[in-house]
């Protein structure tokens, strides 16, 4: 029974071949799924290309090109990394799905695996630039890895529902923002604020002049770190239900119980997307991403931390992140060795970079902000009309946006500016955020009334059409 519509019946339509994707059904113990989480999704063996529209294919093509370039950079840097794998099993390490499944015994949930400090490699920017330009043919990528990359990205695109906001286009927009912010970091690698970051630790060490080694971890110079951050952006809203975590937990108590009612959507996105990558049909792709235990550990941890960082509404997680930022960038660095201090700072900066990219539209041109603000309103208003939310968003949207700017967006932009990691670009993000906030304060009430009127008109037409058909 549906309010205002009466009794409805759902029909499942099978085409000439069985559906290859079942993104909403979770089962335990499915072969080839994420073995750690107990929550899995069947992905099938083929891609249903006929369901892709022109925009989907364009976004997929863009992502494939960007991630192919990142894989090429990883391949070019192989043998140049400064991190030594201390795992004795490194020599027998395998990226085959069967080996991963048999060696994995972790039962922890994603939010329980979040680390305060991720061990990160030190890769000299000068050496990286040389390796990328002159060694690109030394370690060519397996063509099968590129084929699998395209299949993986296509499957991920199909795991996004066609919500107005939380859709594959949003994931691509976030990915683009991550790559842009990382590129801005690269162009300002020596301009970090020495008063905020480890004193003079970012000066070139005297005994490392020959290699050009920096006394810091320049995470934007490491292709694997860059790939991990972009990958996180791509998958961070997989299977997003179009409603906040609170409503998701009401609608799917089984999944909520499994994830202990903490960051349910984010944990599920990580488990499903990462579990898909672990399937045997992506062996070549995984081998192109990482080739030893240390690389695998860093990749998984960066992706996990980054995806979990996108839950910005959990008050406990927010408090913990603020404490970690203060610990990393406060006046007192604590009794840590310099490597840990640098890794701690890089870890928290990466998480904030992902958060900023997730709301990048608020720190971009007014027209971009308006586009995605409209989409988010549409998504939440549809949820309200469908009975999935008890609150009419038009009643709080104007003041809610101002509060979001004041208590989240602007403080986030100020942190990125203060740490100095992104040079003058950070000032640009903050400047756009302040301008958008000011313009919304002037025009927001009128805009909300217009959006609400549009919905009322659409609802009226729908009702008239129903009466005419009956």
Same domain, 312 and 454: no
Q: Is pLDDT of 180 > 50?
A: yes
Closest CA to 153 of 241, 240, 78, 61: 61
Residue 319's pLDDT is what? Answer: 85
Considering only CA atoms, give the Rg of the chain: 23
Residues 6+ away with beta carbon under 8 Å from 294: 83, 85, 86, 87, 90, 119
Q: Is pLDDT of 468 > 70?
A: no
User: Residue range 156-165: average pLDDT?
Assistant: 95
Same domain, 265 and 365: no
CB 235 within 8 A of CB 158: no
User: Which residue, 355, 388, 408, sits at the end of a domain?
Assistant: 355
Residue by residue, what is the 3-state secondary structure of 107-125? CCCHHHHCCCCCCCCCCCH
Percent of the chain surpassing pLDDT 90? 53
Q: Is pLDDT of 242 > 70?
A: yes
Same domain, 69 and 203: yes
Same domain, 139 and 222: yes
Residue 20 domain flag: no
Q: Is pLDDT of 6 > 70?
A: yes
Q: Is pLDDT of 364 > 90?
A: yes
Same domain, 241 and 128: yes
User: Residue range 413-430: average pLDDT?
Assistant: 84
Same domain, 275 and 323: yes
Worst-scoring range by mean pLDDT, 61-75, 102-116, 286-300, 444-458?
A: 102-116
27: β partners: 40
Closest CA to 139 of 187, 72, 186: 72
User: Which residue, 320, 355, 390, sits at the end of a domain?
Assistant: 355
Residue 42 domain flag: no
- The Cα–Cα gap between 257 and 38 comes to 12
Same domain, 315 and 410: no
Same domain, 224 and 164: yes
Tell me the CA end-to-end span of the chain in Å, nearest whole number. 18
The band of 315, judged by pLDDT with boundaries at 50, 70 and 90, is confident
User: Which residue, 303, 321, 355, sits at the end of a domain?
Assistant: 355
- The Cα–Cα gap between 220 and 188 comes to 10
Residue 46 domain flag: no
CB 274 within 8 A of CB 34: yes
HSE value, Cβ hemisphere, 13 Å, CA-based, for 327: 18
Q: Is pLDDT of 12 > 90?
A: no
Q: At what angle do helices 410-419 and 315-329 cross, to 10 degrees?
A: 20
User: Which of helix, strand or coil describes residue 136?
Assistant: coil
- CATH number of the domain enclosing 175: 1.10.1300
Instruction: Copy the structure tokens of residue 264.
Output: 């349910």
pLDDT tens column, 374-402: 999 999 999 999 999 999 999 999 999 99
Residue 95 domain flag: yes
Residues 6+ away with beta carbon under 8 Å from 150: 60, 64
Q: Is pLDDT of 83 > 80?
A: no
HSE value, Cβ hemisphere, 13 Å, CA-based, for 87: 15
Residue 2 domain flag: no
The band of 333, judged by pLDDT with boundaries at 50, 70 and 90, is low
Residue 211's pLDDT is what? Answer: 33
Same domain, 350 and 373: no
- The Cα–Cα gap between 466 and 470 comes to 6
User: Residue range 71-93: average pLDDT?
Assistant: 62
Same domain, 300 and 443: no
Percent of the chain surpassing pLDDT 70? 71
User: Residue range 189-193: average pLDDT?
Assistant: 43
Q: The domain containing residue 141 runs over which residues?
A: 52-355
The pLDDT mean for the chain works out to 79
Burial 110-149 (b: 16+ CB within 10 A, else e): bbebbeebbebbbbbbebbeebbeeeeeebebeeebbebb
- Phi then psi for 169, rounded to 5 degrees? -65, -40
Q: Is pLDDT of 103 > 50?
A: no
How many Å is the maximal CA-CA distance in the chain?
84
Closest CA to 358 of 156, 168, 178, 114: 178
- The Cα–Cα gap between 418 and 438 comes to 22
CB 322 within 8 A of CB 277: no
Same domain, 77 and 102: yes
Residue 463 domain flag: yes
- Phi then psi for 2, rounded to 5 degrees? -120, 130
For the chain, what is the domain count? 2
User: Residue range 147-160: average pLDDT?
Assistant: 97
Instruction: Copy the structure tokens of residue 17.
Output: 């071949």
Instruction: Copy the structure tokens of residue 39.
Output: 């929550």
HSE value, Cβ hemisphere, 13 Å, CA-based, for 418: 14
Residue 148 domain flag: yes
The band of 19, judged by pLDDT with boundaries at 50, 70 and 90, is very low
- The Cα–Cα gap between 349 and 419 comes to 8
User: Residue range 124-150: average pLDDT?
Assistant: 64
Residue 127's pLDDT is what? Answer: 43
Same domain, 221 and 345: yes
Q: Which residue has the tokens 């008063």?
A: 195
């Amino acid at each position: 029974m549906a309010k205002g519509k009466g009794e409805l019946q759902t029909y499942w339509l099978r085409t000439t071949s069985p559906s290859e994707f079942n993104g909403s059904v979770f089962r335990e113990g499915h072969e080839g799924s994420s073995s750690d989480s107990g929550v899995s999704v069947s992905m099938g063996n083929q891609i249903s290309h006929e369901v892709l529209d022109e925009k989907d294919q364009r976004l997929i093509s863009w992502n494939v090109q960007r991630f192919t370039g990142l894989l090429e950079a990883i391949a070019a840097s192989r043998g140049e990394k400064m991190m030594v794998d201390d795992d004795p099993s490194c020599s027998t390490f395998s990226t085959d799905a069967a080996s991963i499944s048999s060696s994995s015994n972790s039962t922890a949930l994603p939010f329980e695996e979040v680390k305060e400090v991720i061990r990160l490699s030190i890769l000299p920017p000068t050496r990286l630039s040389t390796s990328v330009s002159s060694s690109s043919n030394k370690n060519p990528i397996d063509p099968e890895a590129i084929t699998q990359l395209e299949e993986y990205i296509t499957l991920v695109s199909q795991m996004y529902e066609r919500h107005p906001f939380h859709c594959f286009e949003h994931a691509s927009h976030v990915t683009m923002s991550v790559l842009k912010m990382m590129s801005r970091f690269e162009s300002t690698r020596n301009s970090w604020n020495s008063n905020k970051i480890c004193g003079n630790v970012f000066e070139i060490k005297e005994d490392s002049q020959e290699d050009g080694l920096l006394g810091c971890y320049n995470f934007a110079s490491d292709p694997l770190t860059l790939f991990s951050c972009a990958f996180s952006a791509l998958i961070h809203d997989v299977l997003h239900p179009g409603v906040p975590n609170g409503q998701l937990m009401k609608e799917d108590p089984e999944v909520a119980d499994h994830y202990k009612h903490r960051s349910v959507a984010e944990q599920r996105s990580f488990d499903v997307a990462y579990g898909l990558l672990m399937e045997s049909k992506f062996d070549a792709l995984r081998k192109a991403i990482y080739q030893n235990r240390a690389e695998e550990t860093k990749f998984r941890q960066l992706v996990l931390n980054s995806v979990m960082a996108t839950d910005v509404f959990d008050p406990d997680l927010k408090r913990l992140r603020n404490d970690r930022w203060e610990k990393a960038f406060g006046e007192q660095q604590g009794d840590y060795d310099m490597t840990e201090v640098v890794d701690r700072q890089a870890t928290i900066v990466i998480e904030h970079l992902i958060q900023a990219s997730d709301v990048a539209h608020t720190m971009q041109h007014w027209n971009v902000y308006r586009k995605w603000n409209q989409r988010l309103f549409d998504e939440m208003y549809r949820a309200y009309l469908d009975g999935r939310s008890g609150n009419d968003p038009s009643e709080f949207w104007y003041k809610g946006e101002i509060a979001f700017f004041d208590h989240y967006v602007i403080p986030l932009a100020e942190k990125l500016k203060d740490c100095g990691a992104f040079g003058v670009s950070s000032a640009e993000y903050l400047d756009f955020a302040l301008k958008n906030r000011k313009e919304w304060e002037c025009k927001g009430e009128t805009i909300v009334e217009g959006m609400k009127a549009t919905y009322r008109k659409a609802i009226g037409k729908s009702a008239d059409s129903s009466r005419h058909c009956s």
